[in-house]
Structure 1
């Protein structure tokens, strides 16, 4: 009986709308255009681009739609995903002062907003998920940030790893997503991008597509490794 290939990888993405100081958020453009861009350029076999959602740049006030967006990956309402497939969430956010891309290792259970979000909320030293404990609690992605960064750097992108996603809405959403991912057996990653004035739109679109490929390749390599291990156990069993 022939062995089945590794499960497909379904990647869902989010970006943000405008917020204080950033009237045109590049991540809104990236996420809004990503389906059409990847349709033209193509994606590797085994990778499916699922839902592409643009979120309000808000924390607590936008929590319900955020959870509904995350849940949609499990129900398959907004995508072609199924329970048998690997599910990854990729969240894009802008760092208006950055000169390069940044792959974020972690998020902190602290909401301390430097300015009000788009719904007027300005928390100070408040835990994002109270059940997780205090504001010093950290959640890390289970994806190999260093490896993904190296792959992207080899492709010519100016990219770095980061251990600090800030304390504003980007960190808020990432922490909520990592919490959700742990509860549901999926994966999550946050990526900060610069403004289009710093790195042009076409390069950022290429980067986003390359990121999907890099994460898909890693997941498939791991799946192949598990499959080969099982085959070896079967042969020696």
Structure 2
């Protein structure tokens, strides 16, 4: 049985819940066709421990694909991230009270990594299902971006595809739930080997 590791984050900034984990945890054990299933895990929202936790999960689970998710307050779309950058620049303290400013994620790492997921195919599938979605050119500079960068750094050169999805606080009432949107995004990523060539949306 192959595993697709799907992660969300614990609540941060005094929130009671984090929609990324609330959606991801409901997909635990969901099959992705014959011979594959989702394994959902929660990451700490802390610069000092999130990457270490993710690395341990990858070592323990040896997933065939990894998709990390996080909350993007203020965004109204599901954002399929294209690029992770090698910078930490926190607007607020993390859950351990740390607030790094202009520090590298990895001292000897490249400036950026691209997602290895079929990001435009994922956006197209979501839009076709009535979900507001777009390709995003920035994952920010908080713990989400750090996890995205470390994920790509850890799996660089391997055959394990990986990437990051930002979710909004809540979708409009006339759209599918975040759980369904996330399930469709993961399902599309798993089944799609070559990305589609289409114009992509962008969020700032």
Instruction: Give the TM-score, by structure 2 length.
Output: 0.86
Alignment match of 2:36 (pick from 34, 44, 47): 47
Number of residue pairs aligned between Structure 1 and Structure 2: 194
1:123–1:189 Cα change, 3 Å: same
Please say if 1:69 is aligned against 2:57: yes
d(CA) in 2 for partners of 1:64, 1:48: 24
Cα deviation for residue 23 of structure 1 reads: 2.8
The structure where strand makes up a greater share of residues is 2
Please say if 1:147 is aligned against 2:121: yes
Counterpart in the other structure of 2:92? 115
Cα deviation for residue 92 of structure 1 reads: 1.0
1:192–1:199 Cα change, 3 Å: farther
Counterpart in the other structure of 1:56? 44
Alignment match of 1:130 (pick from 96, 99, 107): 107
Q: What is the root-mean-square deviation in Å for CA atoms of aligned residues?
A: 2.2
Counterpart in the other structure of 1:217? 191
Counterpart in the other structure of 2:202? none
8 Å CA contact retained: 2:65, 2:190: no
Which piece of structure 1 moves more, 18-27 or 166-175?
18-27
Alignment of structure 1 residues 152-171 onto 2, 5 Å: 152-171=126-145
Counterpart in the other structure of 1:102? 79
Please say if 1:24 is aligned against 2:17: yes
Counterpart in the other structure of 1:186? 160
Please say if 1:89 is aligned against 2:66: yes
- Match of 1:205, SS state, is helix
- Match of 1:130, SS state, is coil
Cα deviation for residue 145 of structure 1 reads: 1.0
Please list the CA deviations of residues 82-107 of structure 1 after superposition, one character each: whole Å capped at 9, or x if unmatched.
xxxxx110111011111111000010
Cα deviation for residue 186 of structure 1 reads: 1.2
- Match of 1:131, SS state, is coil
Structure 2, gaps ≥5 residues long: 196-204
The structure where helix makes up a greater share of residues is 1
Please say if 1:13 is aligned against 2:1: no
1:34–1:163 Cα change, 3 Å: same
Alignment match of 1:206 (pick from 175, 180, 190): 180
- The structure 1 segments of at least 4 consecutive aligned residues displaced by more than 6 Å after TM superposition are none
d(CA) in 2 for partners of 1:202, 1:157: 6
8 Å CA contact retained: 2:130, 2:176: no
